Amino acid sequence: MASVKHLLGIKELSAQEIMLYLNSAGSFKDILKRDIKKVPALRGRTVVNLFLEPSTRTRTSFELAAKRLSTDVINFSAPSSSILKGESLLDTALTVEALGADIIIIRHSSSGAPHMLSRHIKAHLINAGDGTNEHPTQALLDAFTIKEKKGGFEGLKVAIVGDIIHSRVAKSNIYCLKKLGADVRLVGPATLLPEEFRELGVSTTTSMDEGLEEADVIMMLRLQLERQGKGFFPTTAEYFRQWGLSKKRLETAKPDAIVMHPGPMNRGIEIASAVADGDNSVILEQVTNGLAVRMAVMYHLDERKEQ
């Protein structure tokens, strides 16, 4: 049984712990389908969304998930925070904790920021994305979506496409899917996909056709447009020609392959609209599943006592 107090990354989790979250998420998803989409499970708890990097989608998802569990939620985001006044991240987090936070959800542009806080903070921490390190709840919701659609992970061919090195989503997914037994291939330009990743037990290729061949799952990553002009790739048009997921490219994968994207999408840059809105796409279901998985994470972390 899971024993860690925080959710800092998938790297630190065992396959068993991952499965605990995935197995419980279904029960939380059921709640979301009811008329009364709320349970008193964490009544009286306080959840603080400490989002020090702009994000609406993830913050909203965590906020709603927390509310569905009957917690009180406080949003503490970058523009309004005292971080702008020069307060350190640790001081801000200690202040939030002193206000009575039981669970702190942290997003920060520095890799390892939640790990640093975990050495000083008693509240449960959930990493909602740290720099280019990890985004564990995204990987859990992706795994939950795959499990729902494909039944399991063993031997499943999953292609992750795009800016791998700068993607915390990609990294958490690599760790998660490897632990669950999937066959993971990484696809992207060599400037954004170091071959060292092979040491993690995945294959790498710069060829989209090779990467998508017979794939069961295609995970498209968001291309950070600011990388353009830094020598990683020449233009977005050229990028789409090589690594964009078009209707035609999709035919390389298995007919029942599912197409995933963590959002927000750059339509026409990494993914064609026809694919994003097409039959193979599970992109909107990922959003719904995100709520269920985040509820499961908060619920189970709350069970963990001081170690």
Partner 1 sequence: MRILITGGHVIDPSQEFAGRADILIEDGRIKTFAKEKKLRNNQAQVIDAEGHWLIPGLIDMHTHLREPGFENKETIKTGTLAALRGGFTTVCAMPNTNPVNDNPGVTEFILKKARAEGHARVLPIGAVTKGQMGEELAPLYMMREAGCIAFSDDGRPVANPLIMRRALEYAKGLDALIISHAEDPVLSDGGVMNEGLLSATMGLKGSPAIAEEVMIYRDIALSELTGGRVHIAHVSTLGGVRVIRQAKERGIAVTAETCPHYFSLTQDAVCGFNTSAKVNPPLRTRRDIEAIKEGLKDGTIDIIATDHAPHGRAEKMSRQFDDAPSGISGLETALSLSLALVEEGVLTEMELIRKLTQTPARILRVDGGTLKEGMPAELAIVDPQRRSVLKAAHLKSLGQNTPFDGMEMKGAVIKTFFGEKIMEWGQE
Partner 2 sequence: MTKQLLDSKEIDRSLTRISHEIIEKNKGAEGLCLIGIQRGGVHLAERIANKIKNTEGADIPVGSLDISFYRDDFRIRQPSVIGRTDMPFDVEGKKVVIVDDVFFTGRSIRAALDAIMDMGRPALVQLAVLVDRGHRELPIRADYAGKNIPTSRENERVEVLLEEDGHEDSVILTPVTGEGRSAGEPEGEVNNG
Contacts with partner 2, residue ranges (CB under 8 A): 1-3, 20, 23-24, 26-28, 30-31, 34-36, 38-42, 69, 296, 299-300, 302-304
- Taking residues 256 to 285 in sequence order and writing x for each that binds partner 1 by CB under 8 A, - otherwise, the string is ------------------------------
Three-class SS string for 12-53?
Answer: CCCHHHHHHHHHHHHHHHHHHCCCCCCCCCCCCCEEEEEECC
**Tokens representing 152?**
């399991």
In whole angstroms, the minimum distance from the beta carbon of 295 to partner 2 comes to: 9
Q: Supply the minimum distance, in Å, between the C-beta of residue 111 and partner 2.
A: 29
Q: Per-residue x/- marks for partner 1, 139-168, CB under 8 A?
A: --------------------------x--x
Q: 3-class DSSP state for residue 289?
A: helix
Does 11 interact with partner 1 (rule: CB under 8 A)?
yes
Distance CA 152, CA 139 (A): 15
Size of the site for partner 1 (CB under 8 A): 26
Residue 120 as a binder of partner 1 (CB under 8 A): the answer is: yes
By CB under 8 A, is residue 90 in contact with partner 1? yes
Does residue 215 sit in helix, strand or coil?
coil
Q: How far is the CB of 109 from partner 1 (least distance, A)?
A: 8
Instruction: Give CA separation, 96 vs 67, 102, 109, 141, 253, in Å.
Output: 18, 10, 19, 27, 47
Using CA atoms, how far residue 157 sits from 38, 133, 145, in Å, is 36, 23, 15
Confirm if 279 and 127 have CB atoms less than 8 A apart: no
Q: Interface with partner 1 by CB under 8 A: which residues? A: 11, 88-90, 108, 110-113, 115-116, 119-120, 130-134, 165, 168, 171, 194, 196-197, 199-200
